[in-house]
């Protein structure tokens, strides 16, 4: 009997990077763990990025995911904030990839549509649906709930995501 595929979802953020781990065995999805890596806003950017890197590295080392999924950055009006978020996102892509884990990326609207059924869902709706889909999950932050939603999205779209990654 094969073990469930472990999928790590990552919601990149400079203040808090959410992470969520689920098991996927056929159509059966199970909650494994979730949380967030928090940084101190008073620290220099480079040190905050190191905190995110080290936190995600510990998670990857501890849970040994088979696949990972990261939310794509949306561009907002504040170019500086978008650039900084992009740097945190780079860390979120780098850590699992460096560990040999296949990494997929999903647009925020696709995550919302997959989990809630609408591409413009509110965070509260996402958190509610994550609870419905993973009854044992109790994310303590919106970032952790979003990360679980990203992992769930990957579970639903993983066949096409893996084929795209293999074609590169």
Structure tokens at 63: 């849970």
- What is the number of helices (H) and of strands (E) in the chain? 5, 5
- Find the distance separating the first CA and the last CA of the chain, reported in whole Å: 31
Q: What pTM did the predictor assign?
A: 0.90
Q: What confidence score (pLDDT) does residue 161 get?
A: 56
Split at pLDDT 50, 70, 90, the class of 162 is low
Q: Which of 67, 71, 105, 146 is catalytic?
A: 71
Six token digits for residue 43: 């620290």
4-35 pLDDT tens trace: 899 999 999 999 999 999 999 988 999 999 99
Is 138 annotated in the active site? no
Count of positions (residues) in the chain = 168
Residue-level pLDDT at 82:
81
Confirm if 103 and 70 have CB atoms less than 8 A apart.
Answer: yes
The dihedral region occupied by 137, where left means phi > 0, alpha psi between -120 and 50, and beta the remainder, is: beta
Instruction: Return the structure tokens found at 21.
Output: 């781990």
Catalytic residue among 67, 105, 143, 146: 143
Q: What 3-state DSSP class applies to 70?
A: strand
- pLDDT tens per residue across span 49-107: 999 999 999 999 999 999 999 998 766 677 887 888 889 999 999 999 999 999 999 99
Choose the catalytic residue: 11, 67, 105, 146: 11
Please confirm, yes or no, whether 54 is among the known catalytic residues.
no
Tokens 């620290």 belong to 43
pLDDT for 73:
75
To the query of whether residue 11 is one of the catalytic residues in this protein, the response is yes
Angle between helices 123-133 and 108-116 (to 10 degrees): 50
**pLDDT recorded at residue 158:** 84
């Amino acid at each position: 009997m094969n073990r469930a595929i472990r999928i790590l979802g990552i919601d990149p953020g400079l203040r808090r990077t959410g992470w969520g781990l689920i098991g996927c065995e056929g159509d059966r999805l199970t909650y494994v763990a979730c949380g967030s890596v928090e940084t101190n806003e008073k620290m220099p950017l480079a040190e905050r990025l190191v905190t995110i890197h080290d936190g995600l590295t510990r998670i990857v080392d501890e849970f040994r995911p088979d696949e990972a999924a990261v939310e794509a950055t949306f561009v907002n009006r504040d170019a500086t904030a978008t650039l900084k978020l992009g740097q945190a996102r780079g860390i979120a892509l780098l850590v699992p990839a460096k560990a040999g884990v296949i990494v997929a990326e999903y647009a925020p609207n696709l995550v919302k549509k997959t989990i809630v059924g609408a591409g413009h869902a509110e965070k509260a709706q996402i958190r509610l649906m994550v609870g419905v889909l993973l009854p044992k999950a109790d994310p303590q932050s919106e970032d952790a709930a979003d990360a679980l939603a990203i992992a769930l999205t990957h579970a639903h779209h993983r066949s096409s995501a893996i084929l795209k990654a293999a074609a590169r």
